[in-house]
C-alpha cells in the first residue's frame, strides 16, 4: 500500500542505463507515479534541475517533500512506499546490499566501462573508442562474471527464489549489450539468469506507454 500522503510523485527519466533502471523498478512495483522524460544537461536546462539534483543527472524522483536522486535510493524509496519485498528488509537486507556494493565495483562497473567506450561515446560523439579502456573493462568483466556465474549456478536469483532489486541493479547495462558486445555466452548461469529478467515485461520494455525519445544510434563500426 502506497503511503505518499498529499502531493503527486513524478519520476524524471531518460533512456540511459540508470534512468532506465529506475523506470523498470517503478513499472515492476506498479508504483502509482507520473513519468516525465527530462534532459537536465541540455542547453538552458541546468537552472530548472540543479535544485533537484546538484549533479544534474537522472533519474530524479520528485516527492512531496522534495527530491530523491540516484537509482538505488529511488528503488529503496519506491519499494518501501509500496511495502514490497523487492527491496529486501530485515535479515535479507545485508545480503542484498552486499551484491549492490560488490556489483558497483566489479560486474556492473566492468559493464559500464565497456559500454561507455563502445556505446555512450559513440552515441554522443565524445571521441573514439579507447581500446585500452575496453581491454581493462573486459578483463574485469571476465573476472567478475566468473564469480557471478558461480553464485547463480545453484540459485534462480541472486537472493534465492525471488527476484530482487539486486538482480535489476546487477543487470543495469545488459539491455545495451548490442553496443557493448560483452561475452555473456561464456557464462551459462548468467545467460540463464538474464533470460529470466528479460521475461519480466517491466524489465524488457520499461518505456512501454511512455513518451521517451530514442537514444542516438551508436556506430557499430566503432564497437
Task: Tell me if 207 is assigned to some domain.
Answer: no
What SS3 state is found at 152? helix
Domain boundary pick from 32, 64, 82: 82
Question: What is the total count of domains within the chain?
Answer: 2
Helix runs in 59-130, H state only: 71-82, 93-105, 107-115, 121-123
pLDDT for 7: 57
pLDDT for 138: 98
d(CA 64, CA 203): 27
- Domain interval for residue 114: 90-200
Burial (CB count within 10 angstroms: exposed 0-12, middle 13-18, buried 19+), residue 181? middle
pLDDT for 8: 87
Task: Tell me if 212 is assigned to some domain.
Answer: no
d(CA 54, CA 11): 16
Q: What is the pTM of this model?
A: 0.94
**Same domain, residue pair 73 and 96:** no
**Same domain, residue pair 122 and 141:** yes
Task: Tell me if 96 is assigned to some domain.
Answer: yes
Point out which residues pair with 34 in neighbouring strands: 10
Per-residue pLDDT tens listing for the chain (223 residues): 455 544 589 999 999 999 999 999 999 999 999 999 999 999 999 999 999 999 999 999 999 999 999 999 999 999 999 999 999 999 999 999 999 999 999 999 999 999 999 999 999 999 999 999 999 999 999 999 999 999 999 999 999 999 999 999 999 999 999 999 999 999 999 999 999 999 999 999 999 999 999 999 987 554 4
**Same domain, residue pair 193 and 150:** yes
pLDDT for 220: 57
**Same domain, residue pair 100 and 189:** yes
Q: CATH no. for residue 95?
A: 1.20.1050.10
Residue 179 dihedral angles phi and psi, to the nearest 5°: -95, -40
**Same domain, residue pair 17 and 111:** no
User: DSSP letter at 119?
Assistant: I
Amino acid at each position: 500500500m502506497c503511503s505518499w500522503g498529499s502531493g503527486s510523485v513524478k519520476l524524471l527519466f531518460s533512456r540511459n542505463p540508470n534512468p532506465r533502471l529506475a523506470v523498470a523498478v517503478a513499472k515492476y512495483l506498479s508504483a502509482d507515479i507520473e513519468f516525465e522524460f527530462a534532459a537536465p544537461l541540455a542547453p538552458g536546462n541546468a537552472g530548472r534541475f540543479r535544485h533537484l539534483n546538484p549533479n544534474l543527472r537522472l533519474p530524479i524522483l520528485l516527492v512531496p517533500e522534495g527530491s530523491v536522486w540516484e537509482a538505488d535510493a529511488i528503488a529503496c524509496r519506491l519499494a518501501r512506499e509500496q511495502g514490497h519485498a523487492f527491496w529486501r528488509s530485515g535479515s535479507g537486507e545485508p545480503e542484498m546490499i552486499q551484491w549492490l556494493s560488490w556489483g558497483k565495483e566489479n560486474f556492473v562497473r566492468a559493464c559500464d566501462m565497456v559500454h561507455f567506450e563502445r556505446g555512450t561515446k559513440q552515441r554522443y560523439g565524445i571521441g573514439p573508442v579507447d581500446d585500452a579502456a575496453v581491454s581493462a573493462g573486459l578483463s574485469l568483466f571476465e573476472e567478475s562474471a566468473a564469480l557471478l556465474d558461480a553464485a547463480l549456478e545453484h540459485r534462480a536469483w541472486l537472493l534465492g527464489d525471488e527476484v530482487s532489486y539486486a538482480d535489476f541493479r546487477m543487470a543495469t547495462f545488459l539491455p545495451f549489450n548490442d553496443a557493448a558486445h560483452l561475452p555473456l555466452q561464456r557464462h551459462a548461469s548468467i545467460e540463464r539468469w538474464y533470460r529470466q529478467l528479460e521475461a519480466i515485461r517491466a524489465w524488457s520494455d520499461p518505456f512501454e506507454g511512455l513518451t521517451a525519445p530514442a537514444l542516438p544510434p551508436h556506430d557499430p563500426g566503432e564497437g
